[in-house]
Amino acid sequence: MKYDLENINARFGIGSQKWQEMKNNPLVDEKVIPFSVADMEFKLAPEITEGLKKFIDDNILGYAGTNKKYRENVCKWQQKHHDFTVDEKWLVETHSVVNAFFTAVKAFTQKGDGVMLFTPVYYPMYKAIEINQRKLVEIPLINNGMTYDIDWDLFTKKAKAIDTKMLILCSPHNPCGRIWTREELTKISEICLANDILVVADEIHADLIMPGFKHVSYGTISKEALEHSIICTAPSKTFNLAGMQLSNVFIANENYRNLFKAEQATDADFACSILSYEACRLAYEYGEEWLTEVINIIDTNKKTIMDFMQEYFPQVKITQLQATYLLWLDFRAFNLTNEELEMRNRQKACLYFDEGYIFGKAGSGFERWNLACPTKYIYWALERLYQAYKEFAVK
């Protein structure tokens, strides 16, 4: 291994809410890390840290927009990793992907309009709809045991409703770890195009793909699909740069792009920072090798948990992880309430997951386990899990 992905920096005292949450539990020791909010415990790629240091040595941190090298690298990354040929002029930067889909909801829908979500799903998507007084149109995903599928009949029916105007598509899907296939995305696009529904594709997890799988960018489905979509990408999940707060949104349709920018301009300040651009440029230009090592560890962590559960707690069902570093575990067989599950995890096992119910009703009884950490923390966590749930163990 070229990179130090075995050691972490504890994040107490630097404003990391997920670390701070554990502070009051006297059982928390140096073997305990949080497995909640989706950032990584891995140290940054040295290509990024060293590059940023040099940048600060050589520059002042004034106001700045993007530069040519930045734009080229952002576009090249999409081409090389997702076969998505983008034009630089489609690119619009936002503070974050959440900011991008909030802006899209405001720019392209009116109060009372329906916005579809495949649920359970990343919780701020509900908020973007509700806080802007749009109507949530839920299309619950069908849990087929191993993974989740789209309920096509329901989707088609809801898409046809006169007031349904938008689909926010989480692709790959968080928390279900699902990659939507080309066939599925084509079907989604056909339904949306037939009903004049704009697709906002949140592809923030697109680079975190497990071995054997491939992400399909919504921008590669068809010219028509591309022209009727907003595609949100970012280096933040891929390279652990969430604190840099930057997203690259591709809007091929000039009219939509102008409307999106006009909505952005209603905010007092929507510019991104000079350091976020540089971090992103460094990541896309030099970060690939680091990412490959990180994905291998995530895959190892996933297998470690799956083997352990299969041996000791086979009644806990684990959704196939095709993408993301967020494992979705179904603890409903233990017959515990959400509160009991959360209390037992936190107080007895020092396990700080994201509770499934925050992703919607269908997440009740589930836990989302962030795997982006050195493998030793997974082993230690499994030992604690065993002790806390011993009465359910099959051996």
- Please, what sign has the CA dihedral across residues 71, 74, 80, 86? negative
Nearer to ligand PLP, 308 or 325 (CB): 325
User: Which residue of the chain is nearest ligand PLP when measured via CB?
Assistant: 96
Q: How far apart are CA 284 and CA 70, in angstroms?
A: 9
Tell me the closest approach of the beta carbon of residue 96 to ligand PLP, in angstroms.
3
Please give the single-letter amino acid code of residue 146.
Answer: M
Min CB(98)–ligand PLP separation in Å: 3
Residue number, 99 or 164, with CB nearest to ligand PLP: 99
Judge contact between 10 and 20, C-beta under 8 A. Answer: no
Taking the complex as a whole, the smallest distance from the CB of residue 232 to ligand PLP amounts, in Å, to 8
CB of 103 to ligand PLP, least distance (A): 11
- Computed on alpha carbons and rounded to an integer, the radius of gyration of the chain in Å comes to 21
Sheet holding 317-318, edge to edge: 317-318, 326-330, 366-370, 354-355
Query: Which one-letter amino acid corresponds to residue 351?
Result: L
Q: Which is nearer to ligand PLP, 66 or 247 (CB)?
A: 247
Is 101 within 8 Å of 128 (Cβ atoms)? yes
Closest CB 372 distance from ligand PLP, rounded Å: 11
Q: How far is the CB of 374 from ligand PLP (least distance, A)?
A: 20
Residue with tokens 């009465």: 391
Judge whether 161 and 191 are in contact, CB under 8 Å.
Answer: no
**Residues forming the site for ligand PLP (CB under 6 A):** 38, 96-98, 122, 170, 174, 202, 204, 234, 236, 242, 247
Nearer to ligand PLP, 229 or 236 (CB): 236
Cβ-based nearer residue to ligand PLP, 115 or 204 = 204
Q: How far is the CB of 111 from ligand PLP (least distance, A)?
A: 24
Residue 232's alpha-carbon distances to 205, 260, 278, 355, in angstroms, are 10, 12, 19, 25
With respect to ligand PLP, which residue has the nearer C-beta, 234 or 349?
234
Looking at this protein, which amino acid is placed at residue 36? S
Q: Is the dihedral of CA 76, 79, 82, 88 positive or negative?
A: positive
Q: How far apart are CA 66 and CA 93, in angstroms?
A: 9
d(CA 340, CA 328): 18
Q: Which is nearer to ligand PLP, 164 or 370 (CB)?
A: 370
Q: What are phi and psi of 294, to 5 degrees?
A: -60, -45
Give the bridge partners for 115, in sequence order: 136, 166
CB nearer to ligand PLP: pick between 342 and 354: 354
Alpha carbon distance 198, 205 (integer Å): 21
CB of 56: closest distance to ligand PLP in angstroms? 23
Q: How far is the CB of 94 from ligand PLP (least distance, A)?
A: 8
Dihedral (C-alpha) 38, 39, 45, 48: value to the nearest 10 degrees?
A: 110
Please say which residue, 322 or 385, places its beta carbon nearer to ligand PLP.
322
Contact (Cβ atoms closer than 8 angstroms) between residue 220 and residue 250 = no
Q: What are phi and psi of 343, to 5 degrees?
A: -65, -45
Is there a contact between 261 and 92 (Cβ–Cβ < 8 Å)?
Answer: yes
In this complex, which beta carbon is closest to ligand PLP, that of residue 35 or of residue 308?
35
Q: Report in angstroms how near the CB of residue 29 gets to ligand PLP at its nearest.
A: 27
The torsion of the CA quartet 300, 301, 304, 305, rounded to 10 degrees, works out to -150
